[in-house]
Copies of this chain bind each other. A is one copy, B any other.
Amino acid sequence: MFSESAQTAIAGHASGGFVPPTAPTLRSLFGRQPIEKFEAGTAILWEGDDASHIFEVTEGVLRVFRILGDGRRVITGFLYPGDILGVSLKDRYLYSVEAVTHAQVRRFGRNRFQEEISRSPELRPQLFSRLCDEMAAAQDQMVLLARKNAEERVCSFLLLMARRVKADQQTTPVIEIAMTRLDMADYLGLTIETVSRTMTKLASRGVIAPSGRHGLKILKFAKLVALAGDGDEEDKTDSNYARRAVWPN
């Protein structure tokens, strides 16, 4: 969850030092909590656990997923530094979260978090903003899963990865894919074989070029966009779409 674009504007830790004490941010809220570390592959929380804490990711990548009775896994999103995790009104988590890479999080008691949020007119719109971004990402994902074919899914995913990097620093053609093929497959509703075949095909067509174990370069960005299939959509990347209305002041 919260995997979508624009929260870097709010939470990105590249944003530098200027944060006046009169303008608390979600990030600063977690700032004092001790850091907890998780090895790759270990669980931060399980579906069904008592939803007693809210987390902020400070380092690494996490996967949010659910498992069907017979073992089928669905990854509903990935979490990156700055993302918030565990916000809900149910008293149990309705998904599990594991570390994809070595990862660090800060933890906040749920009640305390709610208190802070409900009393701070600065924090509230920030949280609200996150929820809306998350919802938008979920809708994109539903479109992908409902109607896109394997190639479109993989291309959409690669663009999502590219967007993350682009947001942090300009013009980086080398993208790090932290997750395994299995993670990608379970996120895209495909099998590892299909993901692999599709990537191979994209590489052989010169659209992308693998670069080491978990890296790849995008050689034909425009082609990738076309192949992602979001036909009439204008670029969600910059200004036009990301422009946000100011919520409550």
Task: Report the nearest B residue to A249, measured CB to CB.
Answer: B118
Q: Size class of A's contact patch?
A: 35 or more
Residues of B within 8 Å of A138, CB to CB, are 135, 138-139, 142
A139 to B67 CA separation, bound complex (whole angstroms): 12
Task: State which residues 67-84 of A face B: CB under 8 Å.
Answer: 67-70, 72-74, 76
9-residue interface stretch from A22-30, A87-95, A166-174, A213-221: A87-95
Residue numbers in B under 8 Å from A148 (CB-CB): 68
Return the contact of A1 from the options B114, B188, B231 (Cβ within 8 A): B114
**Chain B CB within 10 Å, residue with most, of A1, A73, A129:** A1
A157-196 contacts to B, CB under 8 A, are 186, 188-189
Query: How many subunits of this chain does the assembly comprise?
Result: 2
- Are B189 and A147 in contact, with the CB atoms below 8 A? yes
Q: Contact mask A108-144 → B, CB, 8 Å, 1/0?
A: 0010001101110100110011011011101101110
Cβ–Cβ contact B69 & A230, under 8 A: yes
Q: Contact between A69 and B231 (Cβ–Cβ < 8 Å)?
A: yes
- Which of A68, A129, A132, A230 lies at the interface centre, i.e. has the most chain B CB atoms within 10 A of its CB? A68
Residue A98 is within 8 A (CB to CB) of chain B in the complex: no
CB distance from A116 to the nearest CB of B (A): 10
The minimal Cβ–Cβ distance linking A46 to chain B, given in whole angstroms, is 12
Residues of chain B within 8 A of A121, CB atoms compared: 118
The 9 closest A-B pairs by CB, nearest first: A69-B231, A118-B248, A146-B189, A145-B145, A2-B89, A138-B138, A72-B147, A74-B146, A74-B143
> What are 27 sample pairs from A and B whose C-beta atoms fall under 8 A apart?
A1-B118, A4-B90, A68-B148, A68-B231, A69-B229, A74-B143, A76-B143, A89-B129, A89-B244, A89-B245, A90-B136, A90-B241, A90-B244, A91-B244, A91-B245, A94-B136, A95-B139, A114-B247, A114-B248, A118-B124, A128-B128, A131-B132, A134-B135, A138-B138, A142-B142, A145-B146, A147-B189
Residues of chain A at the chain B interface (Cβ within 8 Å): 1-5, 51, 66-70, 72-74, 76, 87-92, 94-95, 110, 114-115, 117-119, 121, 124-125, 128-129, 131-132, 134-136, 138-139, 141-143, 145-148, 186, 188-189, 229-233, 241, 243-245, 247-249
